Amino acid sequence: MPVRRLKNFFLGLFIIVVVGTLLFMYLDISQIKSYQQQLLKYSWFEPTLIACAGVLIFFGLLMFFATFKPTHKKPGLHRDYEDGHIYITRNSVEKCVYRTIQKYDEVRQPNVIAKLYNKKKNSYATIKADFFVVSETSGVQTLTDRIKSDIKENVEHFSEIPVKNIEINVRDQKTSDTRVL
């Protein structure tokens, strides 16, 4: 982001200087006529001004044609295979995780966030899930390990993309805020 801001700053400054100079040369005011004549005496001034105006026209055309290019990407993954093309949305991956978590009776109120990263060669997903566990459940660590492995297996089978990171947070019902049921 900072590089983009810096680039836009210098482009804006360049536009202000060139347009200001062109406007200064166009004005027909007697007080500045001597300054205009003095600038025109330099052999490099007119070609430089014309070249800068050409650069501005070029950037203007680039910006004009860039308006027709779509500015947003769909929040999902596009996968190409020999026999076809598939599009996987973040919502479909989250639903797959929800279905996997619902198989466990000890889990209550799951909340799932999936992020899909669309790289040219190595697309992948990361998943974050948090939920309550029934208080009588023993072996919460083994339960979360089983859930992690099931989520990884089901999502990779469903989407055919690797799951790099699965973060499971078990929330404690006693320390959470009071809820209205």
Highest mean pLDDT among 93-97, 106-110, 140-144: 93-97
Q: Rounded mean pLDDT of 70-78?
A: 67
CA-based nearest residue to 111, from 73, 167, 70, 62: 167
In this predicted structure, which of 38-42, 108-112, 134-138 has the lowest mean pLDDT? 134-138
For the chain, the structural domain boundaries read 3-68, 77-172
* Mean pLDDT (whole number) for 49-59: 89
Joined together, the tokens standing for residue 90 give 């973040």
Q: Give the helix/strand (H/E) hosting 122.
A: none
Percentage of the chain modeled with pLDDT above 90: 10
CB 155 within 8 A of CB 93: yes
- Neighbouring-strand partners of residue 113: 128
Residue 64 scores a pLDDT above 80: yes
Architecture of domain 77-172: 2-Layer Sandwich (3.30)
20 is written with which tokens? Answer: 């200001």
Torsion (CA) 129, 131, 136, 137 in degrees, nearest 10: -10
Mean pLDDT (the chain) is 83
- How many CA atoms does the CB half-sphere of 136 hold within 13 Å? 2
Question: What is the distance between the alpha carbons of residues 98 and 102, in angstroms, rounded to a whole number?
Answer: 6
pLDDT higher than 50, residue 180: no
- pLDDT (tens digit, 9 = 90+) per residue, 149-166? 999 999 888 888 888 899
Q: What is the pTM of this model?
A: 0.55
Cα–Cα dist 159/170, whole Å: 25
DSSP 44-108: THHHHHHHHHHHHHHHHHHHHHHTTS-----SEEEEEETTEEEEEEHHHHHHHHHHHHHT-TTEE
**Is the pLDDT assigned to residue 175 strictly greater than 70?**
no
Instruction: Return the higher-pLDDT residue of 163 and 85.
Output: 163
* Residue predicted with more confidence, 175 or 123: 123
Over its C-alpha atoms, the chain yields an Rg (Å, rounded) of 30
